[in-house]
């Protein structure tokens, strides 16, 4: 499912124009992005959490130059689904 599919589905289910829904979805994603950039986690009850995870410093290799390099510690965005969300996916998704 793409962002356009999400906008179309919300528009159909609510009767709100696609332009307004797209603007709302964009602002929602921007708010999450801005919060994570500021180091704040975003918690959505019943859905999950958007969090930042710390990656430790490690040694890597540049294979084209055959050299060793240090990759400094850094933060990455991550999503942790809620228990109820995980349970619903487990029971409803069939292989």
What are the extents of the domains in the chain? 1-40, 41-95
Of 14-18, 25-29, 65-69, the range with the lowest mean pLDDT is: 65-69
pTM score, whole prediction: 0.79
User: Above 90 in pLDDT, residue 75?
Assistant: yes
Superfamily of domain 41-95: IHF-like DNA-binding proteins (4.10.520.10)
User: Above 90 in pLDDT, residue 31?
Assistant: yes
Share of the chain above pLDDT 70, in %: 100
SS3 66: coil
Spell out a b/e string for 1-22, using b for 16 or more CB atoms within 10 Å of the CB, else e. Answer: eeeeeebeebbeeeeeeeeebb
């Amino acid at each position: 499912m793409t962002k356009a599919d999400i906008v179309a589905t919300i528009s159909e289910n609510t009767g709100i124009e696609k332009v307004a829904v797209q603007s709302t979805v964009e602002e929602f994603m921007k708010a999450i992005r801005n919060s994570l950039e500021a180091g704040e986690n975003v918690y959505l009850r019943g859905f999950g959490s958007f969090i930042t995870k710390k990656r430790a410093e490690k040694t890597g290799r540049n294979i084209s130059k055959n050299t060793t390099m240090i990759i400094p510690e850094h933060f990455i965005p991550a999503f942790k689904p809620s228990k109820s969300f995980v349970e619903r996916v487990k029971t409803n998704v069939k292989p």
